[in-house]
Structure 1
Amino acid sequence: MTIPQKQWLVGKTETQALYGQEVVVLKTSGSWMQVVVKDQYSPKNKAGYPGWVPSSHIKASFADYGQCATTMVKAPIANLYHSETTARPFMEISFNTILPVLDVQGNCVKVQTATDGAKYVRKQEVRVLEKGSKIPVPTNRDILATAKMFNGLPYLWAGTSGFGLDCSGFTYSVYKQHSIDIPRDASVQATHGIAVKKSNLQPGDLLFFAYNNGKGNVHHVGMFIGNGKMIHSPKPKKTVEILSIDAEPYRSEFSGARSYLK
């Protein structure tokens, strides 16, 4: 997408759902469906994050692979392939995309898509989770390593993927990779977790910024990385970046911090 196309999305889109991600259909109107993304917590709807999508973007799948191992994409972007030779790409899929595993063949994992049949992904780009296994509890260093993978990624309003991230989509997605579910929006992230004083910040803690010199509504979130710096996805025309937490307007707009690791 071009920068003007990305800017057009500002205020018009709510969030992003990944390939194969489960949604609940609330209602249909013409060629549009109102759905909720189940894995994205929001007080807007108890079932998940709500929004409207073209009906053509939603496909029904009745397959049950609940007893299978699963893959979670750990690279910013990975390719799905038609065969284990990886000679013919099928499509790109994002960071955090989860698909059932059918088989592990050498350097490839055979996965089942919801509507496009069996495909293959390079083993090095995913983590394979056996049924019932859990992702290890992350350390501060684990969270930062994941966050820094996106340094330089262009901002995308409502983005929650390796194709583009907004500020809260960035923090939400980084924690999601480590099986820690936090709310989707910055204003809600600022009310969950454990409050942390600015003097006690630890790497991985989330920093919140609000209008009216930090006393108004929360409008932005970043992640503390230590040494007085944070990493964040600031706004259209910019990329994920690292900067001082004392840079303006962030110094003046700081409104609090939260930990999701304690």
Structure 2
Amino acid sequence: MNDRRLTPANGRVAATGLRGQIQAERFVDGVLQQVIDAPFLHREPRGSRDRQLLWGDAFRVYDQGNDWVFGQSLKDGYVGYVHHPLTEPQTLTHRVDVRTTWAYPVAGFKQPALHELHFNSFVCVVDHDGKWAQISVAGGELIAAHRAFVPVAHLAPIADRRVDPVAVAAQFLGTPYVWAGNSGFGIDCSGLVQAACHACGVPCPGDSDLQEAALGETVPEGTQAQSGDLFFWRGHVAMAVDSETMIHANAHHMSVSYEPISDAILRIEEQGDGPVTRHARINWDKP
């Protein structure tokens, strides 16, 4: 059975590659677009939120009607509806390397900010003076001038990858827990793990059950945790900081927080969500 989260089809249209596998009125190649802002990906138009996209994410559009577009995120294969303008693809040069930064209309911080940019967002830098980077903004729906300025210190070249996933996760410490969130304004358990993985160059699905099936190697029960290990439960994932502590976005604290591993295992089981279903170890040096 196809997983609807990863299957680019909605009954009316489907990706050309699915011809002969599923039924649809039309099979199309889709049109590659680029995300601006940080829109949520919905299961249905005006339906529940499944995940959140970030500025610069590639999104292949298969169907469009009214104010909604249906398509697939290229970074993790997630499928859904976006209620937000998309733009023609630009050549992206840098990614945001802090939890959240702001784009300004001029190279200075005293003017009202135009828009926020979150960690792992991608931008097209066209010039910089060592302190401020000028970015090109395709489409004028959000930023009419088609350009904005971001602190150079908040950006990193796309080719530069982080080496410590725990340090990435720690950047989100205190960030509110938001179901399906992937941003510095709100993030969930799988969003936090995906942020760390993508920053370190590790391909990573969007949801915790998909991550459990895809990431790392299983280590035997009772194995002492190492930094960067992942613990999975039914519907939840956390990352080990060291042998005794983990970091996770969770609804218990309603934020990204540290918690003793043993306490969390006991608490989660006592609240009815079961035991750890998998302890995984990723080779972060060779993703």
TM-score (structure 1 length as normaliser): 0.78
The gaps in structure 1 that reach 5 residues or longer are 1-10, 41-47, 211-218
In the alignment, structure 1 residue 14 sits paired with structure 2 residue 50: yes
Q: CA deviation at 1:146?
A: 1.4
In the alignment, structure 1 residue 170 sits paired with structure 2 residue 192: yes
Corresponding letter in the other structure for 2:74: K
Match of 1:144 in 2: 166
Q: CA deviation at 1:183?
A: 1.3
Q: Return closer, same or farther for 1:229/1:71 CA change in 2, 3 Å cut-off.
A: same
Corresponding letter in the other structure for 2:225: L
Measure, in 2, the Cα distance between the counterparts of 1:209 and 1:75.
Answer: 29
- 3-state secondary structure, aligned to 2:49: coil
- 3-state secondary structure, aligned to 1:147: helix
Match of 1:245 in 2: 261
Corresponding letter in the other structure for 1:61: E
Contact 2:99–2:171 (8 Å) recurs in 1 = yes
Which has the higher mean CA deviation after the structures are superposed, 104-113 or 232-241?
Answer: 232-241
Match of 2:108 in 1: 85
Match of 2:154 in 1: 125
Q: CA deviation at 1:159?
A: 0.5
Corresponding letter in the other structure for 2:267: P
Q: CA deviation at 1:137?
A: 6.3
Match of 1:31 in 2: 67
Greater relative CO (CA pairs within 8 A, separation 6+): 1
Contact 1:107–1:123 (8 Å) recurs in 2 = yes
Q: CA deviation at 1:255?
A: 1.1
Deviations 1:104-138 (A, max 9, x none): 21211111123241211001111134xxxx32561
- 3-state secondary structure, aligned to 2:255: coil
In the alignment, structure 1 residue 99 sits paired with structure 2 residue 129: no
Corresponding letter in the other structure for 1:135: D
Contact 1:207–1:258 (8 Å) recurs in 2 = yes
Contact 1:75–1:125 (8 Å) recurs in 2 = yes
Q: Return closer, same or farther for 1:229/1:75 CA change in 2, 3 Å cut-off.
A: same
Contact 1:204–1:223 (8 Å) recurs in 2 = yes
Q: CA deviation at 1:34?
A: 1.3
Deviations 1:1-35 (A, max 9, x none): xxxxxxxxxx9201001123221112124332212
Measure, in 2, the Cα distance between the counterparts of 1:137 and 1:157.
Answer: 25
Deviations 1:130-160 (A, max 9, x none): xxxx32561xxx2211111211111011011
Which has the higher mean CA deviation after the structures are superposed, 30-39 or 226-235?
Answer: 30-39
- 3-state secondary structure, aligned to 2:79: strand
Identity of aligned residues (%): 26
Measure, in 2, the Cα distance between the counterparts of 1:232 and 1:137.
Answer: 19
Measure, in 2, the Cα distance between the counterparts of 1:82 and 1:160.
Answer: 25
Corresponding letter in the other structure for 1:204: G
- 3-state secondary structure, aligned to 1:249: helix
Corresponding letter in the other structure for 1:90: L
Measure, in 2, the Cα distance between the counterparts of 1:124 and 1:136.
Answer: 15
TM-score (structure 2 length as normaliser): 0.72
Alignment: residue pair count:
224
